[in-house]
Amino acid sequence: MQKIYRLTQRGSFAYAYRKGDSVATPRLVVYKVTAHNLKVGISVGKKVGNSVVRSRVKRRIGERFRLLIPNIEKGYNFVIVARAACADASSDTINGDLVYALKKHGVFNGEPV
């Protein structure tokens, strides 16, 4: 994921958890909050697995989200929280969950990749 799309500040994550709308799937929870630019933060807890598994999950989610960016309305920050089932999920399954959550938020306009 390109640096301009990364959400890195702890306060930004906390604000999204506190004020944002959420949509949950069996593998992901996606929070959406209004902002000036499109940014995304990915959170993967220790329940998902060891550091190797958590890093792989982060990379998969980040790559699938990066491919969806042209179809997402600008002006929102997203925080994606991976659940334990995400460790065994394929990239296509993660993509389906992301598309579902973004459609439920009403910010996805286009065909899934």
Q: What is the pLDDT of residues 7-17, one digit of tens each?
A: 999 999 999 99
Q: Phi then psi for 103, rounded to 5 degrees? A: -65, -40
Q: Is the pLDDT of residue 110 over 80?
A: no
User: Is 89 inside a domain boundary?
Assistant: yes
28: containing domain: 3-105
Average pLDDT for 97-106:
95
| Tokens 């969806």 found at | 68
Q: Within a domain: residue 14?
A: yes
Is residue 78, in this structure, part of any structural domain at all?
yes
Whole-number pLDDT of residue 87: 95
CATH number at residue 56: 3.30.230.10
Quick one: 90 exposed, middle or buried, by C-beta within 10 A (0-12, 13-18, 19+)? Answer: exposed
Looking at the domain assignment, is residue 111 inside a domain?
A: no
Residue 113 has pLDDT above 70, yes or no: no
pLDDT, position 112: 61
> What is the per-residue pLDDT across 31-83, written as a single tens digit (0 to 9) for each?
999 999 999 999 999 999 999 999 999 999 999 999 999 999 999 999 999 99
Task: Give a yes or no: residue 15 inside a domain.
Answer: yes
Does residue 93 register a pLDDT over 80?
A: yes
Alpha helices in 1-113 (DSSP H): 10-19, 51-68, 91-105
Report the domain count for the chain. Answer: 1
- Measured between alpha carbons, how far is 13 from 97 in angstroms, rounded to an integer? 20
